[in-house]
Structures are given as structure tokens and as C-alpha cells.
Amino acid sequence: MIAEIIMILAAVVLLVSLIVMIPKKDYYTQETPQTITISSAGGLQANYDNYISVEYRKGGSWTPTMETMVFDTGSNALILPDFSLLDATKYTVIEDNIQEPWGCPAKILKGPIRLGMTMEIPECEFVACTAPNASGNRTHICGASIGQYVISSGLYPSSPIVQLCVQLKRPFFEIVINEKSTNLNSQINFFTNKPSSYSQKNVGGPFPVVPNIPWTAIAIEGIKVDGNSTKWQVSSASKHIGLLDTGGGPVMINDDPQQSLVPVFKKTSDCPGWVSPSLGAQCFSDQITVNISPDFEVKYPDNGKTTTVLFSHPGTFTSWGEYVVSLNFGGPFFLYACNTLIDTKQFEVYLQPK
């Protein structure tokens, strides 16, 4: 009898061990993302911008706002260049007279918008310019920031990407930017849950998004230049933050009052065309590493393709309370360094080194 009981127990133990060994279904990896294809452009002296197709309703068909619009995590809302092109019967005016961040008089509207030629937002809230700004330009940009921009009425729209996350009930969106030469599509991927690939050991995060500022930004601790640590410190009373900005052009760094970084950079480079002497800037191609936390850093590749614009006087970037906008990760970050996952519910960022 005892022998039979022992045999039964042994069989139970064996069965349990076999069940434990059965691979569990990974719901994260099984999820197929909903995807928008975007394109990338830029080079050493260019702006490394990323582009997305944006269409509005005109009559019974979709009409592109232009060939492409900049896809910009450093901006909040979708801003169309010309309100007069829209079919007024299909759009509702929410706010009649505002000034958008680049100075154009504009309206806030609600109505159908399509992104990437595939995903429609039937009730998208967005901005449309009614006239040029003081420089004679009309803003045209597809903002993708999860930050908050406030106007006097408090009604400024969230980005269409955030609105799409709500519509799809997929709060995570991933930004994957590839060089055109690789023949790989650049994409925005929408997920219900955090993909398992962002739970691997080499992934950084979650990093909290800095609150109460218009851009998607995270706190950073310091930088290295060609592998060497620096004494870069904007202010002992402030915290460095870095902008995650797909429309940010090259890497941009604001030096501290002691100009700790000027002698550290060695490899001078041609500057983008918009950099004028009045900005007090120099340009370099040294390899840089951004320390984000004690156990995670982002290393830009030493491929000679990354331009760093170093502003040598303090105050170039804005202070927000205890935070100083002291670095813009720039387009090369997304192109060469990391894929990025943004959690729009928890306001957190995950970084996956390439």
C-alpha cells in the first residue's frame, strides 16, 4: 500500500513538473501591432527629420495636406498650414482665434484626419493656420509629444498620435526609425500591452516623462565624449532633462556656465544651415554617450554621421522650475541609437538600444 502511494505521489510530481515545463503563451509577443509607416531623411549636416502622410477630407475623398509632414515628438498638436483648404462642412470650430507656438493665427478644429494613408481619426482635434506668422511662414507639423501645451483657454489639442492611442485602446506606441539605405520601413507601432522585447535586460526604463512641459522629455544625469566622463553641470540646483525629439534635427547640448564641454570636444564638423554665429554654437562629430540613470546609458555610434551642436553660453534652452532643458537627443538618437516605446497612460518611456 505504501509503495502504491509513493508511486502515485511520484507520478503527480512528474506531472506537475511537466506542466511547469510547458512554454507559457506570451501574450505580448503574440500581439500584432497596428502600424503606420513613416519615412526618415537627413544626413550629417541636415536635420534628420522624420515624415508622415497627413490627409484631410475634401468633398468625398482624402486630400494630402502636402507631400509629407514632419513627425515630431517635440511638438504637441497636428498643425495644418491653411484653414481655407478645409471643407468647412466637415469640420467643427472649437476655438476661433488662437496663436499656435510658431506664431501663426489659427483655429482649433475637430473632424476627420487620416495618418499614414491608413488610420482615420474621425473626430481628431487639431490646429489650422488662418494666416502666416510674422516671418511669412505657415506652420505644418504632425506633433507626437505626450507633453502638455497650455493656451489661455486651456483647450489646446493633444497630439493625433495620443488621440489614436485612445481610439485604438492601445496606450503604447513604439517609434522605430531606420535609414532609407536599409530598405526597412520606419514605423509607429501601437500596442495594447508592453511588448516583451522591452522587458529584456538591455532595455532602459521605465523613465518618467517630465511633467508640466510641452515636450516628451526625461531626466538625464550626464554625458561622455569619446568615452570620457565630463564635469557638465548646468546648475547645482537644477536637473538636466533631455528632449526626445524626432523633429529635433542634430544632437543639441547646452554647455554649463563654466563651459566644461568646449575643450572636451575635439572633432569639429560643419554646422547645419540654420546655425548662425549669433547662436554662440559650435559643431562636432565626436562620439557621445548620454547617462540617463546609474545603470543605463545611451551610446551614439561612432560612425561619423552624428552632428552635435554645442551651445557655449547658458540660457540657450528653457528652464522649467527645477528642470533645465540642457540636451535634445535629436534625430540621430532615433536613427542610430534606440527604438523608443512610450506609455501614454503611465507617462513613461522605454529605450531599446539598436
Residue 219 shares a structural domain with residue 80: no
Structural contact between residues 198 and 205, judged by C-beta atoms closer than 8 angstroms:
yes
Structural contact between residues 173 and 189, judged by C-beta atoms closer than 8 angstroms:
yes
> Which of 114, 144, 174 delimits the end of a domain?
174
Helix, coil or strand: residue 109? strand
Structural contact between residues 296 and 346, judged by C-beta atoms closer than 8 angstroms:
no
pLDDT, tens digit, 9 for 90 and up, residues 223-253: 999 988 888 865 555 678 889 988 778 888 8
Length of the chain: 354
How much is the pLDDT for 9? 44
Position 14 in a domain = no
The parent domain of residue 54 ranges over 34-174
Residue 213 shares a structural domain with residue 84: no
How much is the pLDDT for 41? 67
Average pLDDT in the chain:
83
The stretches in the chain having pLDDT less than 70 are: 1-30, 41-47, 66-67, 152-153, 181-184, 233-238, 313-323
How much is the pLDDT for 156? 86
The per-type count for the chain, helices as H runs and strands as E runs, is: 4, 26
Helix, coil or strand: residue 206? strand
Residue 123 shares a structural domain with residue 202: no
The structural domain count of the chain equals 2
CATH number at residue 324: 2.40.70.10
Residue 337 shares a structural domain with residue 300: yes
Residue 212 shares a structural domain with residue 140: no
pLDDT, tens digit, 9 for 90 and up, residues 296-331: 999 988 877 788 888 875 555 566 666 677 889 988
In the structure grid, which three cell numbers stand for residue 259, read together?
563651459
Q: State the pTM of this model.
A: 0.85
